[in-house]
Chain A
Amino acid sequence: MKLFRLKGRALVLVGMVLALLAVFVFVALRSGPLAPIAVTLGTVEERAISAGLFGLGTVEPRFTYRIGPTSAGRVNRLLVDVGDRVTAGQLLGEMDPVDLDERIRSQEAILTRSRASLDEAQTREQLAIAEARRYEQLLAARSTSEEIVAARQEARQRAGATVSGAQAEVARAQADRNAISTQRQNLRLIAPVAGMVSARDAEPGTTVIGGQMVLEIIDPSSLWLNARFDQGHAAGLQPGLPATVVLRSHQGASVAGRVERVEPRADPVTEEILAKISFAATPDPLPPIGELGEVNVVLAAKRAGPVVPNAAIHRLNGVLGVWQIFDGDLRFTPVILGATNADGYVQVVEGLATGDRIVVYSASLLDARSRIKVVDQIPGAVP
C-alpha cells in the first residue's frame, strides 16, 4: 500500500517534471530569437492600375492687378474696401494732388494770356496788311516812294511772324495745361478690369512710393491651384488630366478640376514640379487666396499586368525584389517595377508572373536563413 502510494506520488512528480520540461522546450523554441518569423502570403494579381499623382498647392488667382501711383505721393481717398466687386474703369481712389490744381489754374492763366497775345498780334498783322496794301496802291498811282512801300511790306511780314510765334505760344500753353491735367488724371486709381478687391495696403494719409501697391484686384473666376508635385512621383503629369482637389477648409469634400498647365520650369531647390490646376467650376464660397489644397491626379490606366502590394517589396544588397517560399525555404526574387498607384500597388515588369505566391507582411526583417511560419495575420497587427 505504502509502495503504491509512493509510486503514485512518484508518477505525479515525474509527470509534473515532464510537463515542465515540455513547456520549457516549447518556450525556448517558440519565443525569442529562435522563434520562427510570422509571415503572411499574398498572390500576384493581374490588374490594370492607374497611377495616381499627389501634390499640394495653394489657391492663387491667375491674374493679379496691383494698383498704385506711378510716383511718390500721399493717398488722398480710397473708395473701395477688401471684398468689394469693381467694374472695369471704376474709380477706386485718388492720390493727393498737392499743388497740381493750382498749377492747372496757373497754366489756364498762361493760356488765356497767350491767347490774348495772339489776338493782339493778329490785330497788328491785319493793320500791317491793310497798310501795306494801301501803300502799294499809292505806289501804283505814283504818289509815294518805293522805300516807304518796302517799309510797310516789311512791317506786314514782321506782324505775320509775331502771329506765328503767338500761335505757337498758345499751342505750348495748351499742351502744358493738358500735360498737368493728365498728371492729375494719373493720380486717380482706376480699376483696369472687373474683379474683386483682395487687398488694401495703404490708407488715406499714407505716403507711398512710386510703384508701391495700394489696392490689389483679382478676378475671382480665374482662381486656380498652384500645385507642387514631387519630382520622383510626377511621371506622366500633363495638361488636360482630370484632378480632384481637397481644400483644407472643406476637409474631405473634393472638387473637380483639371491640370491646366505644367510649368516648363521646375523648382530645383525643393525638387518639385509645378503645375496649375484649374477648377471645373468656381468654388462657392470662394476659397481664400493662399489656402492649402491637396491635389490627386489620376493618370490613364496602364495595360493590365501583374501587380504586388508595395509592402512586399524589399531591397537586398541594392536590388529590389520580393521574398518567395519554395519548399519551405525563403528565396529572394529580384523584380523590375513599373507604375505605382495611390493604393500601394506596384506593377511588376519583370521577375514575377500572375498567380505567384509572395511574402507580403513579416514580423521582422527576413533573410534567406530565417525560419518562418505562415500565418493569416501577423500577431498584434489589428487590421
Chain B
Amino acid sequence: MINLAGRDILHDGPKFVLTGLGLGLLIGVTLSMAGVYRGMIADGRALLDNSGAELWVVQQETLGPYAEPSSLYDDVYRSVLTVPGVSQAANVTYLTMQVRSDREDVRAMVVGMAPGPAGTPGWPPYLVSGRQVTRSHYEAVADIATGFRLGDRIGIRRHEYTVVGLTRRMVSSGGDPMVFIPLKDAQGAQFLRDNDAVLQGRRRTAQNPAFNRAGAPAVLDAVIASQNVSRSVNAVLVTLKPGVDQADVAKAIERWKRFTVYTRAQMEAILVGKLIATAAKQIGMFLVILAIVSAAIVAFIIYTMTLGKIREIAVLKLIGTRNRTIAGMIMQQAIALGVIGFVVGKIAATFWAPFFPKYVLLMPRDSLIGFFVVMVICVLASLIAIRAALGVDPAEAIGG
C-alpha cells in the first residue's frame, strides 16, 4: 500500500521540515520553562543536600536559616551534641552579600563553616578543583558560577580571602553561588560592622553619661569591648547516628534545649513550599500559557496544512479513496510533525539550557510527559483538520 502521508511529506519535504523546526523551537521554549521551574526546586534541594545535615537547629519560632533570619549563640552546638542520637553538630552561618574581586563584584551566599575535618556538615561535599580550606582564617572555596579562579584574592567586608578550591552547583535557594569561608571569619563578616560604624558607635557610647562615668573610667572600655563581639551563628547542622529516628531526636532537642528543629522533609517543605512558592507559581503559570499557545499553534499549522492541499484531497475523494485513508494521512502527518517538533525542541532546550544564568534542569520525566502531551495535542488538532478534509466536496477537484 502506498503511504499517502509519506508521499505527501516527500512531495513537500522542505516546507514540512521547516514547519517541524519552527514548532520544535516553540516546544523547546516550553521544555526550558519546565526546566527553569525544576531548576528552582533543584536549587533548593541542592542547598539542603550540600549542607550535609539531617536536622537543622534554629532560633525558636523561626523558619531559619534559609527562609528567615535566625540567630543562636555559637556554643549551642555543644549542648546539642549531648542529645542522644546526635553524631555531629556544627555551627553554620549564611549571608547573601556582595563579594569583591579584581574583575567584578559577585553576589554570593557566604557560608561560614565550622572547623573540623573534611566532611563536616556545612562544608562543600565535593570539589572540582583545588583543595578544601585548611587554615582557620582567610581561605575560601567558591562555586565556579562566581567566576573566581584558584588563587584569586576576594574581598568580603573588611578582609581578603584566597580562593583555594572550587566547587559546583552550590547555590542558595535564590540561585546565588556560594562562597565557603571559615566560621569565625563569617561571623565577623556577618555581625561586625564596618570601621566607620564601629567608630561612630564608640563615639555614641562615649557620649552616653551612663557609660562614660568620671569616677569609673574602665566602664567605657568594657562597654565598647562588649559591643564588638559576635557570638552568633544562624543554625546548627546536625547529623545523626545510623538507625536513629530523625523525629525523635528533633523532638528531644526542641523539648530540652528550647530551639526549633527541622528535619530534612520539613526543611524542603519550607524551601519549596514557602520560599520559592510564588516564583514557582509564576513560572508554572507561564508554562501553562506556553503549553496552550503551543497547542493552538500546532492545531493551526496542521489545519492550514490540510486546507493547503484541499484540492488534492478532493481529487482523492473523487477517485474513490476511502475516508479512513485520508484521515490516516492527515493524522500521520500531524504525528510526524509532533515527533520532529519534540525532537528538535528537546535538542534545542538541551543546548541552550547551560546558557541560562540560573540552573535549568531538564528532567527525563518532564520530557516524557511533554512528548505525550505533544502527541495528544497533535492528534486533537488533526481531528479538526480531518473534519474539514472529510467535509470537502469532491466536485471542488474539478471546480474553479
Contacts and interface: CB of A to CB of B under 8 A. Distances in A.
* Most-contacted residue by chain A among B127, B184, B367 (CB, 10 A): B127
B10 A212 contact: no
A206 to B, nearest CB: 10
Contact of A28 (B115, B125, B137, B367): B367
Interface string B349-386: 01101000000011110010000000000000000000
Interface in B98-122: 115-120
Given A311-B165, A361-B127, A380-B144, A32 B362 contact: yes
A300 interface: no
B362 A31 contact: yes
B9 interface: yes
Contacts of B165: 311, 344
Contacts of B215: 209
Contacts of A21: 343
A291 to B, nearest CB: 14
A128 B383 CA distance: 156
Contact of B126 (A229, A341, A361, A380): A361
B278 interface: no
Nearest to A13: B13
B343 A380 contact: no
Interface stretch (A100-108, A183-191, A315-323): A315-323
B169 A381 contact: no
Interface residues of A, number: 58
Interface in B315-355: 340, 343-344, 346-347, 350-351, 353
Residue of B87, B130, B361 with most partner-chain A CB within 10 A: B130
Contacts of B13: 9, 12-13
Contacts of B155: none
A361 B231 CA distance: 35
A269 interface: yes
A232 interface: yes
B128 interface: yes
A13 B17 contact: yes
Nearest to B137: A56
Interface in A93-139: none
Contacts of A362: 126, 128
Contacts of B131: 309-311, 343-344
B268 interface: no
A54 B164 CA distance: 15
A363 interface: yes
Chain A contact residues: helix, strand, loop or mixed: mixed
A20 interface: yes
B52 interface: yes
Interface string A223-261: 000000110110000000000000000000000000000
B94 interface: no
Interface in A267-299: 269-270, 294
A275 to B, nearest CB: 14
A20 B128 contact: no
A24 interface: yes
Nearest to A55: B136
Contacts of A342: 134-135
Contacts of B184: 230, 270
Interface in A2-44: 6, 9-10, 12-13, 16-17, 20-21, 23-24, 27-28, 31-34
B117 A24 contact: no
Contact of B363 (A32, A54, A341): A32
Contacts of B367: 28
Given A20-B344, A314-B119, A318-B239, A28 B126 contact: no
Contact of B134 (A23, A270, A310, A318): A310
A54 B120 CA distance: 19
A368 interface: no
Contacts of A346: 118
Interface in B48-107: 49-50, 52, 75, 87-88
B361 A32 contact: yes
Interface string A146-166: 000000000000000000000
A212 B363 CA distance: 73
Nearest to A7: B10
Contacts of B9: 13
Contacts of B128: 361-363, 378, 380-381
B241 interface: yes
Given A232-B115, A315-B52, A318-B242, A20 B132 contact: no
A342 B162 CA distance: 13
27 contacts: A6-B10, A20-B347, A23-B347, A27-B350, A31-B353, A32-B350, A54-B136, A56-B137, A209-B215, A232-B115, A310-B131, A311-B126, A314-B126, A315-B119, A318-B241, A343-B134, A344-B130, A344-B131, A346-B118, A362-B126, A377-B129, A378-B168, A380-B128, A380-B144, A380-B168, A382-B149, A383-B150
Interface of B: 9-10, 13, 17, 49-50, 52, 75, 87-88, 115-120, 125-132, 134-138, 144, 149-150, 164-166, 168-169, 184, 215, 217, 231, 239, 241-242, 340, 343-344, 346-347, 350-351, 353, 361-364, 367
Given A28-B346, A229-B136, 5 more contacts: A32-B361, A33-B364, A318-B87, A346-B118, A378-B168
Interface of A: 6, 9-10, 12-13, 16-17, 20-21, 23-24, 27-28, 31-34, 52, 54-56, 209, 212, 229-230, 232-233, 269-270, 294, 309-311, 313-315, 317-318, 320, 337, 340-344, 346, 361-366, 377-378, 380-383
